[in-house]
Chains A and B, each alone.
Chain A
Amino acid sequence: MEIGLNHYLVLSTILFAIGLVGVMRRKNLLMLFFATEILLNAVNIAFAAISHYYGDLTGQMFAFFVIAIAASEVAVGLGLLIVWHKRHNNIDLDQMSTMRG
C-alpha cells in the first residue's frame, strides 16, 4: 500500500491533538512545555511531508525555523521557570493566576 500525503497529515493531526490535550490538562508548567514541544514536532512532520510530495524545499525551510524558535523558546522559558521556582518553590499553573510580582 502506497503511503501518500494524507497519511502523514493524519499522523501530524493525531500528534497535534495529543499535544493539545497535554496543554489543556497539565497543571505543572514543565509538563506544559513538553506538550508545546509535541505541538511543534507535529507541525514539522506536516511541513516535511508537504515539502516531499510537492517537490518544494520551502516546507523544509519553515521546519528549520520552527526548530530554531523552539530552541530559543526552551532557553527563555526554562530561565523564567527557574526564577519562578526559586521565588515561590513551586511551578503549578494555578498559583500563577495573580499578576502580583
Chain B
Amino acid sequence: MFEAIAFYLFAFLTIAMFFIAVTTSQALYALTALAAGMIFISAFFFILDADFLGAIQIVVYSGAVMALYAFGMMFFDTTREVKEKRGNALIISGLSILSAVLVVLIVAAPMVATNITASYPVNPALGNTQDVGMILFTKYLVPFEVAAVMLLVAMIAGIVLAGKKMDLSLTLMTEAEIIDMKKDQNKKVLS
C-alpha cells in the first residue's frame, strides 16, 4: 500500500521535473528541475532495496554532476533566452512512432524471457551495501578498474580542455595588459 503511494507520488514528481527540464526556456530552471528530478529518482532506488545505488545517485548526480554543470554555466550567458528548433513534422511523427515501439518492446521483453535464473543472486543474509561490495570486487573487478581508468582520463581531459589560460588572472592585470592580450588572441584566431 505504502509502496504504491510512494511509487505514484515519486513517479508524478519525477515526470513533472524532467518535463520542466526539457521544456523550459531558462537554463537555470532546467538545471534546478533536473537536480530535483535526480533526487526523486533516488527514492525509486530506495523503494527497490538498492540502498547503495540510491546513495550513489544522490552523491554523484545531484552532488557532483549538477555542481559541475553549475560551475560550467558560469562560463555561459544563462540569462539569455534559449532558442528552440522549429517543429519539423517528419521528426515529430518519427519520434512518436519510435516511442510507441519502445513502449511495446520494453513491456514485452520480460514476458518473452520467462525462464531467467539469476547469475549473481541477492544474498538475504547480507545488507545491500555489503552484497554489492562482494559482487563488485570479485566478479566485476576488471570493469571496475577500467571504469576507474576512464574516470582518470576524463578528469585529465577536463582539466586540459577547460584549464587553458588559467594561469592568467584578469583581476590582477592592468587594463593595458588585458587589451594587449585580447589583440594577441584575435591575431591567433584570425591567422
Which residues of A approach B to under 8 Å, CB–CB?
1-3, 5-22, 24-28, 30-31, 33-35, 37-38, 41, 44-46, 48-52, 54-58, 60-61, 63-65, 67-76, 78-83, 85-87, 91-92
A61: contacting residue among B107, B116, B136, B158, CB under 8 A: B136
Seed contacts A54-B116, A64-B53, A69-B147; 11 additional CB < 8 Å A-B pairs: A9-B106, A16-B102, A20-B95, A45-B41, A48-B48, A50-B110, A52-B49, A63-B53, A75-B154, A82-B162, A92-B83
Chain B residues in 8 Å Cβ range of A27:
82-85
Please determine whether B7 and A34 come into contact, CB atoms closer than 8 angstroms: no
Please determine whether B31 and A17 come into contact, CB atoms closer than 8 angstroms: no
Interface residues of B in 108-122 (CB under 8 A from A): 110, 116, 118-122
A26: contacting residue among B11, B41, B65, B85, CB under 8 A: B85
Please determine whether B72 and A82 come into contact, CB atoms closer than 8 angstroms: yes
> Is B127 interfacial (CB 8 A cutoff)?
no
Give the shortest distance, in Å, between A24 (CB) and chain B (any CB): 6
> Is B64 interfacial (CB 8 A cutoff)?
yes
Please determine whether A26 and B84 come into contact, CB atoms closer than 8 angstroms: yes
Please determine whether A46 and B106 come into contact, CB atoms closer than 8 angstroms: yes
Chain A residues in 8 Å Cβ range of B36:
none
